[in-house]
Amino acid sequence: MTNATSRPDPREFRKRLIAREPLIGSFLKTPTSHATEILGSIGYDFVMLDEEHAPWTRQTLEVGLLGARAFGVAGLVRIARPDAASILSVLDDGGIGVMVPHVASAEKARNIASWARYKGGTRGSGVGRGGDYGGRSIQDHYARADSTTAVIAMIEDHEAIERIDEITAVEGIDAFFLGRGDLALSLSNASGTVPTVPEAVKIIAESVLRNGKALCAVTPDAASDDAKAMLDLGVTALMVSNDHSFLRSGALAQLNNFRELFSKA
């Protein structure tokens, strides 16, 4: 991780992810560019605009991605709908990559990889912000987009555990995210004997690393025991909390300071 003035170009994000460089990011849930700009300005490596669990639209995603480009941070989107159109719109609007929820089969992983790639894939041709508005030849655009687009699959279903090696071996998926929240729900709803959440996470992590892919996770605090545990598993792209939690914790700290100040008055 480097500071805001010296870190690599955001289009180097995929290369850095695959190389398993230590990367810090965060989920952003408020559909504006402001949090993207702030995190970019202080030196975060990437932001994940959370379309799945927040009210982002294509228009607000475009603004958020523009903010990411303006402040030199890699802008990715956790898409709400795992389909070709969703991936296409994010990438055409300048997204550095996508993260796709609930990848529980190799077939779904292969589809995702195909939808995100031109050569050898099925991504539709387009030259919006992602293609610098036609500022280079179409063939150069295809090659550059394919080499810089990061594709991350989320493992968060108990069904995925049974076929994890097949999923993590899929070519074109650059990294896998440990979706521990939904994984815990899925395991609790499964019938029969299932692993515990820590056991399942270990199985996933070992498979991801065995197949030469990068490992991602989210933690509430980079100074926590949980963050250390994620690094021990092999996580190199770590998302810390989200903009709502940053706002809440900062505001709560100041509220407590205010109360203490006036209690001594």
Q: Cα dihedral angle (35, 242, 216, 140), rounded to 10 degrees?
A: -20
As a whole number of angstroms, the distance between CA 91 and CA 62 comes to 10
User: 235-247, pLDDT tens digit by residue?
Assistant: 999 999 999 999 9
Residue 93 lies in a domain: yes
Residue 2 lies in a domain: no
Residue 60 lies in a domain: yes
Q: Which stretches of the chain drop beneath a pLDDT of 70?
A: 1-6
Residue 151 lies in a domain: yes
The total of structural domains in the chain comes to 1
Which one from 53, 102, 141, 158 is the annotated catalytic residue? 53
Instruction: Return the pLDDT at 232.
Output: 98
Residue 41 lies in a domain: yes
User: 151-161, pLDDT tens digit by residue?
Assistant: 999 999 999 99
Instruction: Please indicate, yes or no, whether the overall pTM of this predicted structure exceeds 0.85.
Output: yes
CATH assignment of the domain containing 245? 3.20.20.60
Residue 161 lies in a domain: yes
Half-sphere exposure of 77 (CA within 13 A, CB side): 30
The domain containing residue 84 runs over which residues? 10-263
Residue 110 lies in a domain: yes
Helices (runs of H) and strands (runs of E) counted in the chain: 12, 8
As a whole number of angstroms, the distance between CA 157 and CA 236 comes to 22
As a whole number of angstroms, the distance between CA 193 and CA 127 comes to 50
Instruction: Return the pLDDT at 4.
Output: 46
* Burial call 30-56: b when 16+ CB within 10 Å, e when fewer: bbebebbbbbbeebbbbbbbbbbebeb
As a whole number of angstroms, the distance between CA 16 and CA 88 comes to 23
- Decide: 60 and 67 in contact? Cβ < 8 Å: no
Whether 244 is catalytic: no
Residue 5 lies in a domain: no
As a whole number of angstroms, the distance between CA 243 and CA 258 comes to 22
